[in-house]
Structure 1
């Protein structure tokens, strides 16, 4: 459970390069921390299965059933309320299809989201809401590439399928409604976890900005082990009842831990996943409908996990090669050349964005290194002068120093993107860590005096 907060989807906070080739799979297979993480998880899963096959396992499940019974009896209402609330929330946010990184300028999309939420009130109109969710996914597919949309396919289809099955009058269909949600979340987690192996560079800025995420672990140890944790707990949701319920509880703790450092964007973006995870933890059903014999056997744990890794890794790396070609450039190669598929060029709003040399055609406008430095300083100066105008000298000091420190952080980020001197790179990382700590302390000072909201 150590990798808590790192489960926030990095694409929501950092620009990424859509067509960059993933790191070679050999890099992951030669990483000792990858194998260490797998070994630890296998020990946990096998130990849990041994307990589950004993009287203690039955007792544990019975206790979990008693604790979760009030929710279990109202689970459909809970899931429907959260789905409706999610679509109201993204309606209020505006400008997105289904998640924070699937942006749209079409205003009517937000009103469709409100209609989807309203349709969930009645079982008769739930199939229409399901059709609306699929329609939004198809719209996003028009604007974004299929490989990127695979991150959200399983979850979107699963939620739509749940609404159809919940509205059905056929008991043989309805009994699978929670199972569909569970498979959707499991597939989504296993697929998105591969980013930590394929594109570890995407996570470097977050680790630099929020060093507490690693709990003191070295960056190159933490990222692959966090990927293993996410993948295997997603796999655990498809396992036997005790394994899946314990995996769900662990995931719920992890996703909640991500809310504080990453804020409302993370809470809204993960709301459906978190609700389904709660439903999995509260699910009293102990029946296994698919491949029950291998899932119940102890040998099914390593065989199943190995099979899942092979299937998902083959699909991830294979589909990327199919969409973008086997000779696509890696992140490091693109950082040295053109980055025409980056979602953002550098800006103070999106500091993770790659620096695109003028004329290279980066989305959102091209900036040279000089222009990036100038832009960061202009933003700092305006905010700093505004803060210094406060009548209270203590407040003026703090409100002026916050943008001053932020300007130093922005410059340090540019250095990390564009620079190469090891001394300066180390200094930039030191500045980011120290100045961010001081910024947090100054925000806390303002909150203590009621001068800033939480």
Structure 2
């Protein structure tokens, strides 16, 4: 139901392996909150990924880690480790259904309070009644008799979102949504042969959601460029073009690990839990709300004492199953992702670079202070207003150089006038406001005339941050009875 990802740790050697893969994950959900997401845009060709040495480096590291972990799991040390995990997690394991029901109900209460969304901040809706339906879903989880109705409500919200968003975009939220709804149905059932699969269904839902969303890092790496500019600490100094594919491999393989043998899936869950928690502080409470169900299911996987493998157990236990399973998963998911996009939008769909910023009606959000990397509805230098309300320089048919020069001349005059104020504190603020506005004007010209993706992302970041500071300075002036607008 939610896009996933974030990154936190580093340690490149263990980077991709489950426990050590604590570095790159969690940008997908955020990618759609912070960067332009044009559903119709064509993904990068698969050959680009297959020719990337970092992609294959990540694959090799993962295979080594999985084989080593599987060998340990076969030994007495592996059995002892699982037994120790069982003892530590036993109190929660015995009350896991109660835990899951509380979290699911709490999640729907939280998005009811946020308002204006279907199932995640990426899926917005102006329909107020949707929020009240979310509250009813939460109330239905209190009783086992009404849990199937809550499950139906979750599926209904996903179907409802199809009216406003492309089916391909909604696939990001299908697996987890179905898994949570299915869990509620199985948990409320009186048939033991059904109920025993309820946590397994949750595990498959999260695994599929992770593996599917990870492909965005290979199909649309440019979505992640603004996030790297906005929060450079996320990469821990790793070069962008190395970090993004390695992050994709880490996310995909940890999702794959959730479907593996008991020790590997529990280690994968622990690593993912650390990663998602690390995302909360940089991205705020909305991240916690958006990923609450994912994190709860990851906890359920980590404490799950079940050691039986119901599907394809023999291949999942064997060493050859590691490379065979991972290769099969990559082929299946990549074929589905690129194939379905071509089926929905045609093989000749335009790329993000070709669509550029004028296609704002195709994006899931446009520029605002909340979404500083959304596309700005300003395809030329004609002086169209942005959503901030501040006017861009009236460049008309000027060249970029002439537009830059005009914006700087206007900034200089206003700045010098402000600096002449008798009060040095007021003079500082009156001088800084036009200084910041000049930076905003230059950034808008860059967005209208430029083409470099890194500079475009930086320009959008400058607009968002400088506008916030302008508003803070104007508020400071208003407290002293000085109006500047």
TM-score of the two chains, using structure 1 as the length reference: 0.84
User: How far is 1:413 from its partner?
Assistant: 5.5
Q: Does 1:22 align with 2:43?
A: yes
Assess, with a 3 A threshold, how the Cα gap between structure 1 residues 288 and 410 changes in structure 2: closer, same or farther: farther
Q: Could you tell me how far apart the structure 1 residues matched to 2:29 and 2:428 are?
A: 30
Assess, with a 3 A threshold, how the Cα gap between structure 1 residues 124 and 219 changes in structure 2: closer, same or farther: same
Assess, with a 3 A threshold, how the Cα gap between structure 1 residues 426 and 264 changes in structure 2: closer, same or farther: closer
| Residue of structure 2 equivalent to 1:138 | 159
Q: How many residues of Structure 1 are paired with residues of Structure 2 in the alignment?
A: 420
**Structure whose alpha-carbon radius of gyration is higher:** 2
Assess, with a 3 A threshold, how the Cα gap between structure 1 residues 180 and 222 changes in structure 2: closer, same or farther: same
| Residue of structure 2 equivalent to 1:115 | 136
Q: Does 1:300 align with 2:330?
A: no
Q: Could you tell me how far apart the structure 1 residues matched to 2:386 and 2:97 are?
A: 53
- Which structure's residues are more often helix, by fraction? 1
Q: Could you tell me how far apart the structure 2 residues matched to 1:283 and 1:220 are?
A: 37
Deviations 1:397-452 (A, max 9, x none): 99999988976775576466444387x9499579959x89x98xx9xxxxxxxxxx
Assess, with a 3 A threshold, how the Cα gap between structure 1 residues 211 and 114 changes in structure 2: closer, same or farther: same
| Residue of structure 1 equivalent to 2:284 | 263
Residue 370 of structure 1, aligned match among 375, 378, 383: 383
Q: Does 1:66 align with 2:87?
A: yes
Q: Secondary structure at the match of 1:351?
A: coil
| Residue of structure 2 equivalent to 1:273 | 294
Residue 324 of structure 1, aligned match among 342, 345, 358: 345
Q: Secondary structure at the match of 2:244?
A: helix
Q: Could you tell me how far apart the structure 2 residues matched to 1:23 and 1:40 are?
A: 24
| Residue of structure 2 equivalent to 1:211 | 232
Gaps of 5+ in 1: 359-366, 382-387, 443-454
Deviations 1:226-263 (A, max 9, x none): 11111110111000001100000110111111111111
Q: Does 1:247 align with 2:268?
A: yes
Assess, with a 3 A threshold, how the Cα gap between structure 1 residues 10 and 374 changes in structure 2: closer, same or farther: closer
| Residue of structure 2 equivalent to 1:48 | 69
| Residue of structure 1 equivalent to 2:6 | none
Gaps of 5+ in 2: 1-21, 393-410, 412-417, 473-485
Residue 343 of structure 1, aligned match among 364, 367, 389: 364
Q: Could you tell me how far apart the structure 1 residues matched to 2:98 and 2:191 are?
A: 19
Deviations 1:307-327 (A, max 9, x none): 101000000000000000111
Q: Could you tell me how far apart the structure 1 residues matched to 2:300 and 2:432 are?
A: 42
Q: Does 1:156 align with 2:169?
A: no
Assess, with a 3 A threshold, how the Cα gap between structure 1 residues 107 and 339 changes in structure 2: closer, same or farther: closer
| Residue of structure 1 equivalent to 2:414 | none
RMSD: 3.4
Deviations 1:11-48 (A, max 9, x none): 13333111000011111111111111111111111111
User: How far is 1:165 from its partner?
Assistant: 0.2
Residue 420 of structure 1, aligned match among 450, 474, 482: 450
Q: Secondary structure at the match of 1:117?
A: helix
